[in-house]
Amino acid sequence: MIVRTWHGCVPLEHADGFAKHLEKTGVEHSKSIPGNIGAFVRRETQGGWEHFFLATYWQDLQSVKAFAGENYHVAVTYPDDEEFELLSDPYVFQHVVESFSPL
């Protein structure tokens, strides 16, 4: 299994709107790809910013590439992201998970 992690942040005044946007874009998009096992979003406030952490779970690297393309280390972004003044990390991490125990 591969866990793909992304981080971005928005000004607090855009936090709730961006949370809905992220669900409709990154989460729903990833879950529509064969080989996606799930997605998890975490939020944290720090100063005047709301930080978003998205982890998507994949069966294999081929599934990740179906979502992100051949340049899969680059963050997937969406046209409306700018409306929320998103500061996105340009790169994401792929973590190969050797074992997994459900909660």
Residues 39-89 have pLDDT tens digits of 999 999 999 999 999 999 999 999 999 999 999 999 999 999 999 999 999
Within-domain flag for 34? yes
What span, in angstroms and rounded, lies between the C-alpha atoms of 59 and 5? 15
Within-domain flag for 88? yes
| pLDDT at 102 exceeding the cut of 80 | no
Kind of pairing between the strands at 2-11 and 36-46 = unpaired
Domain extent for 83: 2-96
Within-domain flag for 101? no
pLDDT at 63 (0 to 100): 97
pLDDT at 98 (0 to 100): 85
Instruction: Specify whether the CB–CB gap between 92 and 75 falls below 8 A.
Output: yes
Within-domain flag for 57? yes
- Helix, coil or strand: residue 57: strand
- Helix, coil or strand: residue 100: coil
pLDDT at 28 (0 to 100): 96
Radius of gyration over alpha carbons of the chain, in Å? 14
Within-domain flag for 103? no
- Total structural domains in the chain? 1
* C-beta contacts of 17-20 below 8 A and 24+ residues apart: 17/84, 18/50, 18/52, 18/84, 18/86, 19/43, 19/52
Within-domain flag for 71? yes
